[in-house]
Structure 1
Amino acid sequence: MSLVASVSELDVLNGLDVQPPWMHQVNQPVTYPRMFVEVAQDYGVSREQVLRYAGLPANILDDPAGRLSLLETWKVLLASLCLTGDPTLGFQNGLRLPLTAHGSLGYALMCASTAREALTILERFWHVRGRGVLLMVSETNDAPFFELVPELPMPSALRDLAFSSMLTSMYRGMQFVLPMLPASSEIWLQGAEPAGFQRWQPQLPAVHFDMPRAGIVLQGDRSWLDQPLPTANPEALAQAIAQCERENALLDAVDDVVRQTRAALSLEGGGYPTPEQLADKLHLTPRTLRRRLQDQGQSYRDMLEEARCRDGCQLLANPDLEIQRISELLGYNDPANFTRAFKSWMGVTPSEWRAQRL
């Protein structure tokens, strides 16, 4: 059996330089790791084997309404990947997850009156279904882009596994709720195309690998956003929203600091905000902002580099912008510094990256 992830990656989870307290809180739905274990069973791998490999109790998944910590959830996912040796496990898992697996949020999406309302609900309550990955909604080439962003560093094998599952499940849910979903939609993933992926491609939209960001792009005419949905149910929607609100009220307000910081680190006319400007924008002192980011395994410097990588890739997609100008917009006085930084992010120089995609 060829392991596409290894025990060392499980050790990475145990030995993260910073393990924020919320990573150990038992607040993750058991639904998602249970489904990964069920998919692994199709390969002849038992639940007991997966949990033993992950170093977890044999009964931890027994209660369908149970909860795990984020660290435990990640261990189950990596253990399933290691023991099956199939790098397409995430796609298989995402294709199996029904919309109802997402609890109150899934029911709210089913009962929304229009696609626009459903997508607003998804953005508003995404976080109630667990921690570890943020949903950021933006525009890419004038099309809505639903981006997944890790809240703290993830091993690449875990990131590719989790993101392929989440985006596949999200797309299938959109197909169910939005029968008029544009056929030109795309899934973007940051890792390389895994061996065996082509057998799942017919059930998915166009999937692009080795991308600078991970998410779903909804291309095409936007008139479908305001068309009535066949599953709309105002009364059931109100009940589902109320339950989402109750779940949201149980979450610690400090959880929003990473999402708010990412949103505030946008490229504006004068460049990116300084730590002091950012703290002021979030109504925090610089010291409090720094401490809250540290509590979640983040720092201003790391998030600034992430924003520069994201925006650099977007700017390079415009062939009319010179690389020297892009480096200036991103805050690099010397284009050589931008080139070195970009190669450390993407493995190629800015000019090579642009040539591969234009």
Structure 2
Amino acid sequence: MPRAADYLQPTMHPVYARLLCMDLRKRGFSQEQILAGSGLDWQALHSENRLLSLEQMGRLVLQAETLSGCPWLGLEVGAMTQVAAHGQLGYAAVASADLRSLIGVIQRYSPLRLSGLHLQGAETGERFEMLALERFEMRRISEFIYGNLATISLRLLETASGTLDLQQLRFAFPFARPQWAAEYHRFLGPNIEFDAAVYRFSMPLEWLDWPCLTADAELARLALRDCEYQLQHLNQTDGWSGRVRQRLLTAEGRYPTLDELAEEFHMSTRTLIRRLREEGSQYQELLDQVRQELACWLLVHTELSIEAVAERLGYSDTSNFSRTFRRWLGMPPNAFRASRDETAPQQNLP
């Protein structure tokens, strides 16, 4: 059974949410329409580099697919993504000497952009195969994530090596064949499999030795140095805000007060307030974020009553929870659940 804490952990770089927003703006939708029901703030999303959780990204993707009527948005957004969007990871990849090195860079440093997947490469006969293993179930965001991963990978390979023969590539996706499967063939070529156990991408083994047209030894060295530094500090990027958030995620409804947190961290309350303020954050803001995301997760993934959800979030008054939820997302919790019922299977929790 999936855990809420998995879905609420910082997982995805916000640049991919921004690209999705940009696509929707090009289609004529307003900021308000795009973020309706997501709980995200436009200015914060486009100015801060705090990682998003799968729950946050999932709400944005669902709204995007509803607005656009385009459930293959992951493919489209990935296909338009420039190398620069991947930061130093993108530069290190395309500056590699050959495709073998490029793929090695992607494997090692992909957690900098999406930590919910573990990429694993292997040589199988005369082909090289890349698997994407889920650290936890992607569920309703699965198609967007894997479609996006496929076209992003293809674009990076084409940037580095020139035009690729799509007849030689194979893709397998871990979900049922959708009605719009033709779009997968349009972007990725003829060799597409659905209902696979895991996501797979493969190409001829001999391609690994192809030199990169964009090879740049000095750029690769500098970019790899930055990537390695970021990887070593990945779990520390949110500072004290991240530590407070993590503690709140594991609180199970009995949320510690600011004074109690300060005591746990062996510092004065004033010091904790100052450290959070230095990071542009506040305790109450973090508590609201955790409660909002957990509320959405429980409403979508479980059959708990509204009263039980309120209790799990530490609200003794269900009406107070409903008013707060409406302030967060512009709709009451029962309306939010109804709007998501068809997009995610539910489970009973004890």
Quote the residue 1:3 is aligned against: none
Q: 1:243 aligns with which of 223, 226, 233?
A: 226
Q: Is the Cα contact below 8 Å between 1:180 and 1:224 reproduced in 2?
A: no
Write out per-residue CA displacement over residues 145-187 of structure 1, whole angstroms, 9 at most, x where no aligned residue.
11122211222x4101211111111112111112375541112
Quote the residue 2:195 is aligned against: 210
C-alpha change, 1:75 and 1:139, in structure 2 (3 Å) is: farther
**Superposed displacement of residue 116, structure 1:** 1.2
Quote the residue 2:177 is aligned against: 193
Q: 2:210 aligns with which of 227, 238, 249?
A: 227
Cα distance in 1 for residues equivalent to 2:123 and 2:207: 17
**Worse overlay, 166-175 or 203-212:** 203-212
Cα distance in 2 for residues equivalent to 1:26 and 1:210: 28
**Worse overlay, 113-122 or 130-139:** 130-139
**Superposed displacement of residue 99, structure 1:** 2.0
Quote the residue 2:67 is aligned against: 83
Pairwise CA RMSD: 2.6
Quote the residue 2:138 is aligned against: 154
| Mapped pair 1:53 → 2:34 | no
Letter in 2 for 1:190: P
Q: Is the Cα contact below 8 Å between 2:25 and 2:31 reproduced in 1?
A: yes
Quote the residue 2:3 is aligned against: 18
- Paired residue secondary structure (1:245): helix
C-alpha change, 1:111 and 1:160, in structure 2 (3 Å) is: same
C-alpha change, 1:86 and 1:182, in structure 2 (3 Å) is: closer
**Superposed displacement of residue 108, structure 1:** 0.4
Letter in 1 for 2:137: P
Q: 2:80 aligns with which of 96, 120, 127?
A: 96
- Paired residue secondary structure (1:36): helix
Letter in 2 for 1:188: A
C-alpha change, 1:238 and 1:251, in structure 2 (3 Å) is: same
- Paired residue secondary structure (2:218): helix
1:1-358 paired onto structure 2 within 5 Å: 18-20=3-5, 23-26=7-10, 28-63=12-47, 65=49, 67-140=51-124, 142-155=126-139, 157-179=140-162, 181=164, 183=166, 184-199=168-183, 201-206=185-190, 207-219=192-204, 222-252=205-235
**Superposed displacement of residue 59, structure 1:** 2.9
Q: Is the Cα contact below 8 Å between 2:72 and 2:180 reproduced in 1?
A: yes
Q: Is the Cα contact below 8 Å between 1:189 and 1:210 reproduced in 2?
A: yes
Letter in 2 for 1:32: Y
Cα distance in 2 for residues equivalent to 1:106 and 1:135: 16
Letter in 2 for 1:224: W
Q: Is the Cα contact below 8 Å between 1:144 and 1:218 reproduced in 2?
A: yes
Q: Is the Cα contact below 8 Å between 2:161 and 2:210 reproduced in 1?
A: no
Q: Is the Cα contact below 8 Å between 1:87 and 1:195 reproduced in 2?
A: no
Write out per-residue CA displacement over residues 232-268 of structure 1, whole angstroms, 9 at most, x where no aligned residue.
1111111000010111011249xxxxxxxxxxxxxxx
C-alpha change, 1:211 and 1:28, in structure 2 (3 Å) is: closer
- The alignment's TM-score, normalised by the length of structure 1, stands at 0.59
Count matched residues: 234
- Paired residue secondary structure (1:29): coil
- The alignment's TM-score, normalised by the length of structure 2, stands at 0.60
Q: Is the Cα contact below 8 Å between 2:13 and 2:112 reproduced in 1?
A: no
C-alpha change, 1:224 and 1:18, in structure 2 (3 Å) is: closer
Q: Is the Cα contact below 8 Å between 2:172 and 2:196 reproduced in 1?
A: yes
Q: Is the Cα contact below 8 Å between 2:98 and 2:208 reproduced in 1?
A: yes
**Superposed displacement of residue 225, structure 1:** 2.0
Letter in 1 for 2:232: A
**Worse overlay, 127-136 or 38-47:** 38-47
Cα distance in 2 for residues equivalent to 1:196 and 1:125: 32
Write out per-residue CA displacement over residues 183-218 of structure 1, whole angstroms, 9 at most, x where no aligned residue.
411121122333344356344233222323212111
